[in-house]
């Protein structure tokens, strides 16, 4: 890869001695005021496509963590409903309110387990990256 600032060829990362380009107006635009899930969902899809501007905008937005946590909970709940809920319903041999309470407690425990596994996975990914590298996976595994 070639640095856009200093022109140096490098593998994964380097300490650039050049002056970084100024951020664009699109990058420094303030986040929307109020409840705006569509904006954050659009940013999430842009981050999935490795859009640098979206990544930098979210890194400066204090509300992004709450929307990100909500999107993660929704995605994990959908996975648990499809995989664990049928097994929970087959294993619970009571009916009525006890079954509902059992399913709610089971789903909460399932979300906690999935959260722990997600943090372990992200921690292992951070450990496996070279020090100071923020390169895309295709650059690391190539």
Span 84-101, pLDDT tens digits: 988 888 888 888 898 899
Question: Which domain, by its residues, includes 92?
Answer: 84-130
In a domain, 118, yes or no: yes
Query: How many separate domains does the chain show?
Result: 1
Specify if 11 maps to a domain.
Answer: no
Residue 113 lies in a domain: yes
Residue 135 lies in a domain: no
SS (H, E, C) the chain: CECCCCCCECCCCCCCCCCCCCCCHHHHCCCCCCCCHHHHHHHHHHHHCCCHHHHHHHHCCCCHHHHHHHHHHHHHHHHHHHHCHHHHHHHCCCCCHHHHHHHHHHHHHHHHHHHHHHHHHHHHHHHHCCCCCCCCHHHHHC
36-57 pLDDT, tens digit per residue, is 888 889 988 998 898 888 888 8
Domain for residue 65, yes or no? Answer: no
pLDDT at 142: 47
On whether residue 140 sits in a domain, the answer given is: no
């Amino acid at each position: 890869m070639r640095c856009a600032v200093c022109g140096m060829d490098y593998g994964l990362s380097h300490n650039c001695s050049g002056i970084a380009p100024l951020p664009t107006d699109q990058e420094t635009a303030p986040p929307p005021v109020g409840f705006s899930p569509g904006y954050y969902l659009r940013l999430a899809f842009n981050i999935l496509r490795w859009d640098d501007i979206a990544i930098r905008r979210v890194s400066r937005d204090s509300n992004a963590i709450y929307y990100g946590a909500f999107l993660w909970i929704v995605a994990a709940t959908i996975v648990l409903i499809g995989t664990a809920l049928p097994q929970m319903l087959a294993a619970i041999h009571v009916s009525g309110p006890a079954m509902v309470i059992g399913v709610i407690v089971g789903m909460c425990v399932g979300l906690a387990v999935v959260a722990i596994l997600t943090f372990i996975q992200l921690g292992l990914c951070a450990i496996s990256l070279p020090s100071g590298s923020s390169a895309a996976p295709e650059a690391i595994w190539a």
